[in-house]
A and B are shown apart, each in its own frame.
Chain A
Amino acid sequence: MSEKLLFDRIDEPGLATLAVYERRGGYESLKRALKMPREEVLQNLLDSGLRGRGGAGFAMGKKVSFLPRGAIDKYLVCNADESEPGTFKDRELMQKSPHMLVEGMIIAAYAAGANRSFVYIRGEYRQQAEILDRAIAEAAAACYLGERILGSDHTLSLVLHRGAGAYICGEETGLLDSLEGKRGNPRLKPPFPANQGLYQGPTLINNVETLATVPTIIRMGGAEYAKLGTETSTGTKLVSVSGNVQRPGNYEIELGVPSREIIYGLAGGPERGRDVKLWFPGGSSSPVLTRDDLDLPYDFDSMAKAGSMLGSGAIIVVDDSVAVVDVALKLAKFYRHESCGKCTPCREGTNWTVKMLQRIESGEATPMDLDIIASVQDQIMGNCLCVLGDAMAMPIASMVAKFRGEFEQHIERRREQLGLGVPTAPTPLEAAGAFAEAGS
């Protein structure tokens, strides 16, 4: 298996303290980075090919380079909201090795020329926030934070900000609004946060894992780091495996390993006698894959090619004992709850998708409802300020497309149970098709 960069001896007692972290070579990367010119640090990030670990997979170095140069107030925000269902890697990282994140943030802020930084941690992570807060205080006491860090010209403040429970605040612009003390409604893009973010200033926003990887990149050198993984998905990645597997948990893998090795090799696969029915490769927002896709290499491009995405690296495995309708309904309800309500397609689309799925659940639906569900998802996609609506539309649409037979069977079985009988011919589905043809 691959080298452990983030999870190397992560359970060592006291790693959350400065003393142990420093004894293990902590903050050496910072000292090294501060001796380099900013451009060289940035070049290392670019060379590393590190792609954002939060979900979008955008190249981190490129994101840093988008920030305008010059002596203006710039901000670095670490997105520790981690509320994508199935994702729990940042939690383990912050809880066990908080200094790795702090060090990464100081280096990233140096590369970006930011002098104020914030960690937006989800409100539910109270224990992790306490640990991280202690680590920040320790780092500040050791002069790793503050004015002219270690005698360089780099000045940085770091404030831990606790959220209060809202999935949408993991979306970068929603997060910024929330950090500014408002309701966490996403903003229209452009302007992108790199130009106008927090307090209208240029802002770099990165996920916890992305920032925690930065010290490793400086230690190894960007080009050396890029040798890990595949050509376009470099490095190692923390994957959170959960659901119907025997050993759920976080695993650090080198990008590009076969998915089967993660799900079966590391996480133990479903229980004996069960088989994988579907799996989410990158959190609940990613289009589902089936057991036929298990041999795909686990990296950004392979997942995209298979019509899904690597997302946050959260693999949720659903075995064949579970009805796909239940999974769809559970997810749709979640997105309905979390939609901030700003954009109509998302607010109404999530609500009506739940209603239609409930109809299917209760047997009051006809197969036509499946087409309507699919068309609603289609109309949500790309029509909102942020991707929360898309985050529901993608998995639901893929479930309806890949498991249509099961949905139809479910409808028929429930209708039978209720004594409603089979829908008479021509089915509403055919009627809809005929109408569409006549209309065109």
Chain B
Amino acid sequence: MSALSGGRGSELAGDVARYGHGSRIPGWDDACDLTKDPAGIPDPALTPVPAELRARIEAAMSRYPDFRSAAIPALHAAQELHGWCSPEAIEQVACVMRLTPAYLTAVATFYDMLETKPVGRDTVYVCTNISCSLRGADKLYAAMQEAAGDDPELNVRAFECLGACDIAPMASVNGAYVGPLELADAGRIVAQLRAGEDVLPDKQLLRRACADPGAAGSDAAATVGTDSVDPGAPTLFDDESQDPSA
């Protein structure tokens, strides 16, 4: 069996939920009351919005020539507060932005990172796209799911290419990229998340040096041959003590 297939379980990795007729539009078969008018723009007097969220949405709106451009930043902010784009969160954003909830729901359902169902507080995106799969991402995803079990605080998802194929197989843990991961790292990630610790500090992308041996300096560039420099798993901290992220 090749690295990619990784058992039948991998069928599910990265798969989209589909309804009977093949549609993936959520809610296509939700019952709706045709006698009711669509929800309008929420009444500010009846919609309490947390002050901090309001400030963040208004700040975002002020940055664009057209206030509607702030839809995604506003939904990001609401999701951070509520954990997901709940009807209440959408209502609050709609109230501040003076848009209908339907407009914002349409936006929220389009993007993978905006959650339209309740999810755990900590997100773990495991990349299962081509480059990571070639290096065992499907098994890693299975291990990650197993390690997380049914912990409601953990949101473990198979994700499309996260743009870090150099550290494949990898995962994004609450936005921090870590890799290359081994199967045993799944348990460590879960344990560290539960303990509220920094996740796999030795495998964080931010601390990884450029793979190109010539990038070290113009002198090194001259010596680059086929096998002269091995940047196998270079880290910035071998000789430099400065943390670029600090």
Contacts and interface: CB of A to CB of B under 8 A. Distances in A.
A85 B131 contact: yes
B209 A11 contact: yes
B112 A165 contact: yes
Interface string A165-192: 1110000000000111111100000000
A4 B236 contact: no
A23 B148 CA distance: 47
A264 B226 contact: yes
Contacts of B236: 11, 13
Name the residue in A1, A91, A124, A265 with the highest tally of chain B Cβ atoms < 10 Å from its Cβ: A124
Size band of the interface chain B makes with A = 35 or more
A252 B175 CA distance: 27
A249 interface: yes
A318 B133 CA distance: 11
Contacts of B68: 180-182
Contacts of A88: 163-166
Contacts of B72: 123, 161-164, 178, 181
Interface string A383-425: 0000000000000000000000000000000000000000000
B81 interface: no
A90 B107 CA distance: 26
Size band of the interface chain A makes with B = 35 or more
Contact of B16 (A86, A166, A336): A336
A247 interface: yes
B111 to A, nearest CB: 4
A95 B206 contact: yes
Given A11-B216, A321-B2, A248 B14 contact: no
Contacts of B160: 83, 85, 167, 334, 337-338
Given A321-B2, A323-B4, A86 B161 contact: yes
Nearest to B11: A358
B76 interface: yes
B192 to A, nearest CB: 17
A73 B131 CA distance: 41
Contact of B242 (A8, A13, A249, A334): A13
Interface stretch (A58-66, A101-109, A237-245, A426-434): A237-245
A249 B211 contact: yes
Nearest to A284: B130
Nearest to B75: A164
B240 interface: yes
Name the residue in A2, A88, A90 with the highest tally of chain B Cβ atoms < 10 Å from its Cβ: A88
B212 interface: yes
A290 interface: no
Interface stretch (B40-48, B139-147, B194-202, B217-225): B217-225
A361 B10 CA distance: 13
Nearest to B72: A164
A428 B118 CA distance: 48
B114 interface: yes
B96 interface: no
B92 interface: no
B113 A124 contact: yes
Nearest to A320: B2
A159 interface: yes
A21 interface: no
B16 to A, nearest CB: 5
Interface string A329-361: 011011011101100000000010000000001
B215 interface: yes
A122 interface: yes
A330 B8 CA distance: 13
28 contacts: A1-B214, A4-B221, A8-B218, A13-B240, A86-B161, A88-B165, A91-B164, A127-B177, A159-B64, A161-B73, A162-B73, A162-B76, A164-B76, A165-B112, A181-B72, A240-B165, A242-B131, A242-B168, A243-B131, A248-B168, A249-B212, A250-B210, A251-B212, A284-B130, A333-B14, A334-B129, A334-B130, A361-B5
Given A4-B221, A11-B236, A73-B65, 16 more contacts: A9-B218, A10-B215, A85-B129, A85-B130, A86-B130, A87-B163, A124-B159, A127-B245, A162-B73, A180-B66, A183-B106, A248-B165, A321-B3, A323-B4, A323-B5, A337-B14
